[in-house]
Amino acid sequence: MKYSAKNRIESSYRLRNKFFYYVILFNFIISIFSMCSKEYAFEKTNAEYDFSKLRIITNLGNIEVESIDIKEKQSYKNPWGRAKFQNNQIILAKSEGNLRDDVYFDRRENNFHFDGMYRIRKDGKIFYFRSGYQWFHKDRTYLLWVYWIDNKYPETEGKMYFDVVSVPLIQKGSVSITTVGDSITWAHYGQYYRYKLWQLNTNYRFIGSRTDIFGFGHEGEGGDVTPYVLKRMDDIVPNSQNYILLIGANDIKLDSFSFEKTFNNIVTIVNKLKDKNRYCRIFVCTILPCNSEIFVNKNKMTIDDYNQKVNVLLRKKYSSGSVKRVTLINTEKLFRSKKNYLDLLFWDGLHPNHIGYGLLAQEVHKYIDKQ
């Protein structure tokens, strides 16, 4: 039976949701065994919100909370100095059932989702938080990678009233930046990507139709492949002065795909971004190295082999600087130049860890400030 292009796209989206579903399950299981690791922690920021412009999107009502876990981590030395890190989660009571978002990245705002800010009212006190992951496990809904605004949180469990709210982050910078890509742009320590850039230059202003746990806008979606980015081009903000593109790491999992197709799609994405703003700059990052062999194509090519071949074509196309308003950032070379570059990666061998994102931010910052 032959499928239409529409059917193939719908099938691809179902596969992406299924893939991302299992990625999060894997992440959760690993987190249970790695609570003592610094890899699952967040540092506090000094980013501020304008609560005078708070807008209530919807009321989620009274929800029974079984546990609020605040995990203070031991400080350790890194390129950003000494810092405390946290691994926070909210576990909802079994009686509440499954409250996680059933379709990731569907842009609904009336539920728990990756872009939202939430207000809790309990015992006359008010608390705000964002969450980077969610999961339904052992008949309970887990909100993971929780970032408590101003480090204030309920000290006891029980019934709490939840609202989905919108509160703008105060960004005074004049240089607008939009990071475009997959989970490397957004998930895990990708939440830190923009914050690290902002630390390097507080004149940066991050915009996008998505929001990370620190309130910075972005255009990253977990599990994305180049065809999906092309499909959601209309949702990507049109008024950014700078687009940072890092995409292609997941394309190997697609059927009937090749590194040439990935390269051609990236070129098309670049051209479409240029069309959004004729004065913008596009920074194309080469795909980062990894040590994962989870994904292989029909020719038994590993994900790292595949991505290296894409990078060869990207360097050939953009490294000379001959394409107007497009700059190549050879982030693959940057990582591989380090003696133990695998130490820059998260436990999954694909995403950078906290140190890796610090290195990535330094390199991107260097190129943006050259312009």
Of 131, 166, 201, the position where a domain reaches its end is 166
Q: d(Cα 127, Cα 118) in Å, to the nearest integer?
A: 8
Q: What is the distance between the alpha carbons of residues 54 and 221, in angstroms, rounded to a whole number?
A: 26
Residue 77 makes CB contacts below 8 A (sequence gap 6+) with none
**Amino acid (1-letter code) at residue 265:** N
DSSP class of residue 287 equals P
Q: Give the tens place of pLDDT for each residue, 315-334.
A: 999 999 999 999 999 999 99
Nearest to 100 by CA among 144, 56, 147, 154: 144
Domain boundary among 137, 166, 195: 166
pLDDT per position as a tens digit, 200-233: 999 999 999 999 999 999 999 998 999 999 999 9
In sequence order, what DSSP letters do the residues of 69-116 get, joined into one string? E--EE-----TT-S--EE--EEEE-GGG---S-SSTT----SS--TT-
Residues 95, 56, single domain; the answer is: yes
Residue among 4, 296, 23, 254 nearest 134 (CA): 23
- Using alpha carbons, select from 171, 177, 226 the residue that is nearest to residue 367: 177
pLDDT attached to residue 293: 59
Amino acid identity, residue 256?
A: S
d(CA 16, CA 21): 8
Residues 200 and 348 both lie in one domain: yes
Who wins on pLDDT, 165 or 4? 165
What was the pLDDT predicted at 18?
A: 54
Q: What is the CATH number of the domain that holds 259?
A: 3.40.50.1110
Do 219 and 183 share a structural domain? yes
Is the domain of 46 the same as that of 64? yes
Is there a domain that residue 107 lies in?
yes
| Predicted pLDDT at 306 | 92
Residues 7 and 159: their CA atoms lie apart, in Å, by 44
CA 77, CA 16: separation in Å to the nearest integer?
Answer: 37
Residue 135 lies in a domain: yes
pTM here is: 0.83
- The verdict on 273 and 155 lying in the same domain is no
Is residue 23 assigned to a domain? no
Same domain assignment for residues 252 and 330:
yes
| Sequence-separated (6 or more) residues with CB below 8 Å from residue 339 | none
| 131 and 266 co-located in one domain | no
Taking residues 185-206, what's their average pLDDT? 91
Structure tokens at 163: 């609202």
Instruction: Examine residue 17 and state whether it is found in any structural domain, yes or no.
Output: no
Residue 70 is predicted with a pLDDT of 82
The total domain count for the chain is: 2
Look at residue 256 in the predicted model and tell me its pLDDT: 82
Does the pLDDT value for residue 4 go beyond 60?
A: no
Among 100, 108, 94, CA closest to 64: 94
Nearest residue to 38 (alpha-carbon basis) of 370, 368, 355: 355
83 and 180 in a common domain: no
How many Cα atoms are found within 13 Å in the side-chain-facing hemisphere of 327?
18
Which DSSP letter does residue 352 get? B
- What are the tens digits of pLDDT across the range 135-156? 899 999 999 889 999 889 999 9
Mean model confidence pLDDT for the chain: 84
How far apart (Å, rounded) are the C-alpha atoms in residues 129 and 97?
A: 21
Whole-number percent of the chain with pLDDT over 70 = 80
At 144 the pLDDT is: 87
Q: Which of the listed residues 145, 166, 187 is the one where a domain comes to its end?
A: 166
**Termini Cα distance of the chain:** 52
Domain co-membership, 121 together with 204: no
CA distance 311 to 332: 8
Do 307 and 229 lie in one domain? The reply is: yes
Same domain, 49 and 197: no
9 assigned to some structural domain: no
Is 4 contained in some domain? Answer: no
What is the pLDDT at residue 11?
53
Instruction: Return d(Cα 252, Cα 298) in angstroms, integer.
Output: 9
pLDDT class of 168 with cuts at 50, 70, 90: very high
Angstrom distance (rounded) from CA 260 to CA 38: 38
Write the CB contacts of 320 (distance below 8 Å, at least 6 apart in sequence): none
Burial of 101: CB neighbours in 10 Å, binned 0-12, 13-18, 19+: middle
| pLDDT above 90 (res 273) | yes
pLDDT at 1 over 80: no
Q: Identify whether 300 is part of a domain.
A: yes
Let me know if 303 is exposed, middle or buried by CB neighbors in 10 A (0-12, 13-18, 19+): buried
Q: What is the mean pLDDT of residues 42-55?
A: 79
Q: Are residues 347 and 234 located together in one domain of the fold?
A: yes
Containing structural domain, residue 185? 175-370
Residue 30 lies in a domain: no
Q: How far is CA 288 from CA 244, 336, 341, 349, in A?
A: 14, 9, 10, 11
pLDDT tier, 189 (very low <50, low <70, confident <90, very high otherwise): confident
Tokens of 154: 């309920």
Residue 133 has pLDDT above 60, yes or no: yes
The HSE-up count of residue 275 (CA atoms within 13 Å, CB side) is 9
